[in-house]
């Protein structure tokens, strides 16, 4: 069979048409892919623009301008977001130079951005823009090609935080000054207490000794009135001696360092109660001690606390029939509250806060003896342990002293 020129032409045209068809299909695919890419790019730009405009942190892109000597001299804002305008107060800054907007801006800002533009090394710093009267937490990093010298900057306005920190620093300085004055006053007070107690002890010993001798040697020559006077001198000097001891104890405890360890508090309480019973064999007092109570505290100081509280309970139940004292704990808000409760004389609750003041007594000396220092010692020791102490009671219905140890 012969292939004519017309047949060859038909084959050539067919192949060409097939090639064109394939080319059109490839072109159509490329166009479709490009449209998808353009749509994705537009979507990405929309997302970026939404993020850029809604970002609560100030953001800008700047072009750093160098002078003829290669030193950073100015910069121009290429992009800014609304938060940047809000935080800096610079409105309509896009396309403008910073020296045009803030002529007296500090030179070190240009140095920082110039270094980032040249080296590409990011930097984060806290800076005070005195010209803007604001503080900023700034993070800056290079973007684009090295020759573009573009820097992206994130601004976070921390002015209020810095002002609060400065206020706290001033308050701390004020407190330090007050503490120094307080420490000086405490040292003066301790010195005064020591001096007074030292100067008083010798004459007190003489008065007490001579009163004691007179009671022994010439008591038979005195009438009842004179004996009563002499007895009051004797008792007064003895009370003054106890008061001096209590004052010294209060002063020493204020500066004592605590040494904590785990203690069996129930055992300590039982030992103190045994001593009270031995000292008052004629009394019958029901004492309920909850077993297994422990504490992480200074042994000697906690014994002083418990001794004072139990002696008070013992003293103030002396005129109560069926005297009862209770020691235990309750738990509240995850904390252990220790308490000593009695059914004795009690007190008016409105004076509860004053019970822990030195020398403040809610009962007269004629009713119940004491120097008025015991509860002040308790309060001081509990505070040394980082805790607190408080009292509840009613007149004629007993009292409860609570305390917490940190």
263-277 pLDDT tens trace: 999 999 999 999 999
131: pLDDT strictly greater than 80: no
Residue 197 Rama label (left phi>0; alpha psi -120 to 50; beta): alpha
Which numeric CATH code is attached to 258-404? 3.30.565.10
Least confident of 139-148, 161-170, 219-228, 332-341: 219-228
- For residues 39 and 317, the model is more confident at 317
Q: What is the per-residue DSSP string for 99-115?
A: HHH-TT--HHHHHHHHH
Most confident of 102-116, 235-249, 352-366: 102-116
Q: Which residue has the higher pLDDT, 139 or 10?
A: 139
**Which residues fall within 8 angstroms of residue 386, CB to CB, at 6 or more apart?**
405, 406
Number of Cβ within 10 Å of residue 138's Cβ equals 20
What is the structure's pLDDT at 6? 62
Length of the chain: 406
Nearest by Cα to 86 from 64, 60, 105:
60
Q: Which CATH architecture has domain 58-157?
A: 2-Layer Sandwich (3.30)
Mean pLDDT of 165-193: 80
pLDDT classification of 152: cutoffs 50, 70, 90: very high
Other CB atoms within a 10 A radius of the CB of residue 21 amount to: 10
Instruction: Return the pLDDT at 279.
Output: 86
- Minimum mean pLDDT among 116-120, 176-180, 216-220, 342-346: which range? 216-220
Residue 22 has a pLDDT of: 74
- Asked if pLDDT for residue 151 goes beyond 80, the answer is yes
Instruction: Judge residue 268's burial from the number of C-beta atoms within 10 Å of its C-beta, 0-12 exposed, 13-18 middle, 19 or more buried.
Output: buried
CATH of domain 160-255: 1.10.287
Q: Which of 57, 62, 45, 53 is nearest to 152 (CA)?
A: 62
Q: Confidence class of residue 43 from pLDDT cuts 50, 70 and 90?
A: low
Mean residue pLDDT of the chain comes to 81
**pLDDT over threshold 70, residue 290:** yes
Q: With beta carbons less than 8 A apart as the criterion, state whether 159 and 137 touch.
A: no
Strands 324-332 and 286-289: parallel
Residue 273, pLDDT score? 93
Query: Which two structure tokens, joined as six digits, stand for 74?
Result: 């100015």
pLDDT tier at 196, thresholds 50, 70, 90:
low
- Does pTM top 0.75 for this prediction? no
- Tell me what the mean pLDDT of segment 306-325 comes to: 90
| Residue among 176, 186, 177 at smallest CA distance from 255 | 186
- Give the whole-angstrom CA distance, residue 113 versus residue 60: 12
Parts of the chain belonging to CATH 3.30.565.10: 258-404
Enumerate the β-bridge partners of residue 342.
325, 399
Is there a contact between 386 and 319 (Cβ–Cβ < 8 Å)? Answer: no
Q: Is 311 helix (H, G, I), strand (E, B) or coil?
A: helix
**Residue 83 neighbours by CB under 8 Å, 6+ apart:** 55, 56, 57, 58, 59, 155
Domain with CATH 1.10.287 in the chain: 160-255
Q: CA 46, CA 236: separation in Å to the nearest integer?
A: 93
Task: Please report which confidence band the pLDDT of residue 328 belongs to, taking 50, 70 and 90 as the band edges.
Answer: very high
Structure tokens at 312: 């008070």
In whole angstroms, what is the distance from residue 296 CA to residue 125 CA? Answer: 46
- With 60 as the cut, is the pLDDT of residue 58 above it? yes
What residues have CB less than 8 Å from 296, skipping those under 6 apart? 260, 261, 262, 263, 405
Q: How confident is the model at residue 142 (pLDDT cuts 50, 70, 90)?
A: very high
Q: Percentage of residues in the chain with pLDDT exceeding 70?
A: 80
Instruction: Decide if pLDDT at 299 tops 60.
Output: yes
Q: What is the pLDDT of residue 194?
A: 67
pLDDT of 403: 94
Give residue 356's pLDDT band: very low, low, confident or very high (50, 70, 90).
confident
Burial 174-187 (b: 16+ CB within 10 A, else e): eeeeeeeeeeeeee
The pLDDT score that the predictor gives to residue 88 is 84
Average pLDDT over residues 352-366: 64
Which part of the chain is CATH 3.30.450.20? 58-157
pLDDT of 8 strictly over 70:
no
């Amino acid at each position: 069979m012969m292939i004519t020129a017309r047949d060859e032409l038909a084959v050539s045209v067919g192949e060409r048409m097939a090639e064109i068809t394939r080319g059109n299909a490839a072109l159509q695919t490329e166009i479709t892919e490009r449209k998808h890419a353009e749509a994705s790019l537009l979507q990405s730009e929309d997302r970026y623009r939404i993020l850029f405009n809604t970002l609560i942190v100030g953001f800008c892109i700047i072009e750093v301008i160098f002078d003829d000597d290669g030193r950073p001299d100015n910069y121009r804002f290429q992009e800014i977001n609304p938060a940047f305008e809000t935080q800096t107060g610079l409105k309509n800054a896009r396309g403008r130079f910073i020296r045009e907007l803030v002529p007296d801006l500090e030179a070190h800002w240009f140095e920082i951005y110039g270094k980032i533009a040249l080296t590409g090394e990011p930097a984060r710093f806290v800076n005070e823009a005195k010209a803007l009267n604001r503080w900023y937490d700034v993070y800056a990093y290079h973007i684009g090609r090295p020759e573009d010298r573009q820097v992206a900057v994130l601004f976070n306005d921390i002015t209020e935080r810095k002002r609060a920190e400065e206020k706290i620093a001033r308050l701390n300085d004020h407190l330090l000054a007050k503490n120094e004055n307080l420490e000086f006053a405490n040292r003066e007070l301790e010195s005064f207490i020591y001096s007074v107690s030292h100067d008083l002890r010798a004459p007190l010993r003489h008065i007490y000794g001579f009163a004691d001798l007179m009671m022994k040697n010439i008591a038979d020559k005195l009438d009842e009135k004179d004996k009563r006077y002499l007895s009051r001198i004797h008792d007064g000097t003895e009370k003054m001696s106890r008061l001096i001891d209590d004052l010294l104890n209060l002063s020493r405890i204020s500066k004592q360092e605590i040494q904590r360890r785990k203690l069996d508090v129930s055992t300590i309480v039982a030992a103190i109660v045994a001593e009270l019973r031995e000292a008052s064999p004629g009394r019958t007092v029901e004492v309920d001690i909850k077993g297994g109570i422990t504490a992480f505290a200074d042994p000697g100081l906690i014994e002083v606390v418990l001794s004072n509280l139990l002696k008070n309970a013992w003293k103030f139940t002396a005129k109560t029939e069926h005297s009862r004292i209770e020691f235990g704990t309750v738990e509240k808000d995850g904390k252990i509250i220790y308490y000593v409760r009695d059914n004795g004389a009690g007190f008016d609750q409105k004076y509860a806060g004053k019970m822990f003041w030195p020398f403040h007594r809610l009962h007269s000396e004629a009713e119940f003896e004491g120097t008025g220092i015991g509860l002040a010692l308790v309060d001081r020791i509990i505070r040394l342990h980082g805790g607190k102490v408080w009292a509840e009671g009613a007149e004629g219905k007993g009292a409860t002293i609570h305390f917490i140890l940190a």
